[in-house]
Structure 1
Amino acid sequence: MKKLTNLMIRDCTSQGSEICHELADALYQHQAAMAKDPLHKETLGNMRYENRLKPSFDNTEEKLLLVAFDGEKPVGYLFAAAEEVTEESRRQLPPWSERIPGGGTGFYPDWLETPVRVGALNNLYILPEYRGTGLGDALTTKGMEWLRALPGARYLFVDVSEGNNAADFYARYGFKFSHDVLGGIIKAYYQEI
């Protein structure tokens, strides 16, 4: 594992998500590059900070944005959030999902009894040159501490885009497979807390 001495993690929730603009765009392009299905690749390739992280961050009341810095340069981030899932909100799908034929199950599984409070690790991204430094583990550990402390939360979820090999990483934190989202463009993992 590489060791870098200038790395620091800061809670940037109160600053807004703009600090992660370039990192979020890099994440979405990485997701598109990993996708196998041509339609999934195109759909993921159309995602940007403006239509994914920014609206998610802006429309979520209870959230956490951790940013890893090398000096003053943002090199990775984790975005986590909490929400009350109702039967109606469980069925809601993002606008970009209209491009996926057949739809399928959304972000929350059919077995989830509503209403229920859940937490989600929504985004985790580390610049390629900083992978292997322990930043992913450090961000995830801090994010999981925040999520597990959420009052009344019963489940935690994390979504992994098609082609991403992060399932084993999240399994180390207790996540197990839940369901395919929107026909498999995303795999959802969960844990009960």
Structure 2
Amino acid sequence: MNLNYEILSIERAEDCRELCNELMAFQKSKTKIKAELFDTMNFETRMIPSLKSAIYNHIVVAKDADKIIGYAYSNISPKEVYSNDFATFFDMFSVARKNVGCLSQFYIKEEYRKYGIGSTLFEMSMSWLHQFEDVEDYFIFVSNGNNDALEFYKRKGFVFSHEILDGFITVLRNKNEES
């Protein structure tokens, strides 16, 4: 393996299309609740709208030589973005500040898991998120059935907040106490 990491400009988000679509298929394969909700989830319906509604976006990719084998997409968004026709992702009154940070998408091809790539992508994403002094609440939304991801984020300091859509998504939260 010849691993390297690169931060992509938003104009290059398209480079993550294939992996984003793989992520949606992976999540559907794991889910035990409302699997049909993933039928319409893909790069066009998940990543593009998120990029457009965010104030700031951050995409970091892991590469083996020149091949992208994993990515993490994070954003800073107005908290109201997380209350829409699909769901209300958290209690708006529990977030004091105007904006929230979110590790929105995170995926590594299966054959590259267990090499520390996830930890590196996670740390790069969190470092970026924590640079915004006006943000104190960080969220990660984990699809049901993805217990490996849930445990990974808990080991990284995120805690269970609540479930939405009858358990379809587990909401994890971390507060920046320094803000």
**TM-score above 0.5, yes or no:** yes
Give how far 1:53 is off: 1.0
1:109–1:178 Cα contact (<8 Å) kept: no
Runs of 4+ in 1 over 4 A off after TM superposition: none
Give how far 1:128 is off: 0.6
Match of 2:83 in 1: 91
1:13 matched to 2:9? The reply is yes
1:63 matched to 2:45? The reply is no
The equivalences for 1:40-189 within 5 A come to 40-86=34-80, 89-93=81-85, 97=86, 106-109=88-91, 111-165=93-147, 166-189=149-172
Letter of the aligned partner of 1:124 in structure 2? F
Letter of the aligned partner of 1:91 in structure 2? S
- Identical aligned pairs, as a percentage? 31
- Structure 2: tracts of 5 or more residues without a match: none
2:79–2:92 Cα contact (<8 Å) kept: no
Give how far 1:150 is off: 1.2
Distance 2:125 2:43 in 1: 20
- TM-score normalised per structure 2: 0.90
Letter of the aligned partner of 2:48 in structure 1? K
Distance 1:113 1:77 in 2: 27
Aligned length: 175
- Structure 1: tracts of 5 or more residues without a match: 98-104
Question: RMSD over aligned Cα, in angstroms?
Answer: 1.7
2:55–2:78 Cα contact (<8 Å) kept: no
Task: Name the SS of the counterpart of 1:120 in structure 2.
Answer: strand
2:97–2:135 Cα contact (<8 Å) kept: no
User: Which range is displaced more, 27-36 or 6-15?
Assistant: 6-15
CA separation of 1:130 and 1:90: change in aligned 2, threshold 3 A: closer
- TM-score normalised per structure 1: 0.84
Distance 2:9 2:51 in 1: 9
